[in-house]
Amino acid sequence: MERNSRGFWSAYEAKLFDKKVNARIGIPVLLLMENAGSAVAYHALRMLGKRKKVVIFCGKGNNGGDGLVAGRHLVSMGVKPDIFMLGGSHNLKSASLVNFLILKKLGQKISELNSNSISRLKKTISSYDLIIDAIFGVGLRNEVGGLYADVIGLINSSGCSVLSVDLPSGMNADTGMAMGDCVKADRTVTFMMKKAGMCNKIGLSYCGKIIVSNLGVPKTTV
């Protein structure tokens, strides 16, 4: 893998990372996801302090898988989060599916979000101490709409602290612009390098404080 001296990745470079690091040093996606979720859980605990009421919104891709791993780590630390899936758990694949099934075997309830559950959430979401946003990552290509836009709007109007995984859901990883609706996070845990869109005022306004986690991969490999 070629060294990157710019200090940030494009969306394309970020998407290639998993394949390249596997080919070069043999780290599989499942292990990268484990390290990502562990980092998210660590920073979630730092934001929580003595508070313990957490909700995690997970999409169907690897970003959602990171959220599922974070949920498992939080459970192991005595914090039992509420977890909601967007996009249908039947659409989960590979490492994300593995982590979904692990949580289910541990007895963790994972709810599928729909219009009815959104209505109920509107009444309770402000009671959470922390929202973890693991809906979309760098793979987002289209404008956010429908149920996804409803959830992002709910997150932004909740008044809760928000921690985003890799980048705020709905943010264009290259430009920092909102692709329709975008989560406004208090903190964002991103992986290996900042994404290009995080390096301007627009992107920063969505990210809040940015924390870079190296996923257990030496910096010399990127």
At residue 3, the pLDDT reads 47
At residue 4, the pLDDT reads 54
At residue 5, the pLDDT reads 57
Distance in angstroms (rounded) separating the CA atoms of residues 58 and 49: 23
Domain extents for the chain?
A: 8-217
CATH architecture of 8-217: 3-Layer(aba) Sandwich (3.40)
At residue 195, the pLDDT reads 97
Q: Exposed, middle or buried by CB within 10 Å (0-12, 13-18, 19+), for 78?
A: exposed
Distance in angstroms (rounded) separating the CA atoms of residues 156 and 17: 30
At residue 180, the pLDDT reads 94
The residues, any chain, with a CB within 8 Å of residue 71's CB and separated by 6 or more, are 37, 41, 56, 58, 81, 83, 103, 108, 132
In this predicted model, what pLDDT tens digit does every residue of 30-64 receive, in sequence order? 999 999 999 999 999 999 988 889 999 999 999 99
At residue 2, the pLDDT reads 47
List strand residue ranges (DSSP E) for 86-165, in order: 110-112, 130-134, 161-165
Which residues, listed in sequence order, are joined to residue 165 by a DSSP beta bridge? 189
Question: Would you say the C-alpha torsion 201, 158, 167, 165 has a positive or negative sign?
Answer: positive
List of the chain residues with pLDDT < 70: 1-6, 222
Pairing between β-strand 54-58 and β-strand 110-112 as defined by DSSP bridges: unpaired
Short-list 187, 93, 86, 190, CA closest to 137: 190
